[in-house]
Amino acid sequence: SGQASFPSATICVKDLVLPVLIGVNPPERLARQRVVTNITFYERTCTTSDSTSTPTVSTQSQASEVDYTTIVQLLYEWINSTSYLTLEKLVLELVRACFRMTSPQVDAVTVRCEKPSAISFAHVSGVQMTRRREEVDLTPETE
């Protein structure tokens, strides 16, 4: 009998519009811009199985212990107190914040941010990053 760990749930927050003070050019720093954000949380459940059986999930751990409604609200409030020069830095800090606000059962996070107004002839420009919890320094940073 050994320990197996596998994703048990994928929780998606789609098209969250965040008002972000972002950009390197002075006109961009005058007002908050709409940044369309998608976040995917990958929860895992530790189960016990052996090599001949299918992994099982205990009924106690099937329900998520993470309050995603509260996390989204906290992210929205937090972003109002920050500013970033680049979309890449914003995405990295959102990944860090997601891990700081969730329990260890959230094993990985994907954050995608898009600026609809960034490039004249493009619908959007964006950055997407996926990280596992153990890959991320959870110390908050600012630009």
Q: How far is CA 70 from CA 22, 60, 114, in A?
A: 24, 22, 23
- Phi then psi for residue 7, to 5 deg, are -65, 130
Question: How does residue 6 score in pLDDT terms, banded at 50, 70 and 90?
Answer: low
Q: Could you tell me where the DSSP H helices lie in the chain?
A: 68-79, 87-101
141 within some domain: no
pLDDT (average), residues 15-39 = 93
Distance between CA atoms of residues 33 and 143, nearest Å? 17
Number of domains in the chain: 1
pLDDT (average), residues 126-140 = 91
143 within some domain: no
Does position 10 have pLDDT exceeding 90, yes or no?
yes
97 within some domain: yes
pLDDT (0 to 100) of residue 52: 42
pLDDT tens-digit profile of 44-87? 865 544 444 333 333 334 456 789 999 999 999 999 899 999 99
CATH number of the domain to which 59 belongs: 3.30.1130.10
140 within some domain: no
Higher-pLDDT residue of 38, 124: 38
pLDDT tens-digit profile of 90-124? 999 999 999 999 999 999 999 999 998 766 676 77
The domain of 75 spans 2-135
> What are the beta bridge partners of residue 130?
110
Higher-pLDDT residue of 42, 7: 42
142 within some domain: no
51 within some domain: yes
DSSP state of 117: T
pLDDT (0 to 100) of residue 140: 63
12 within some domain: yes
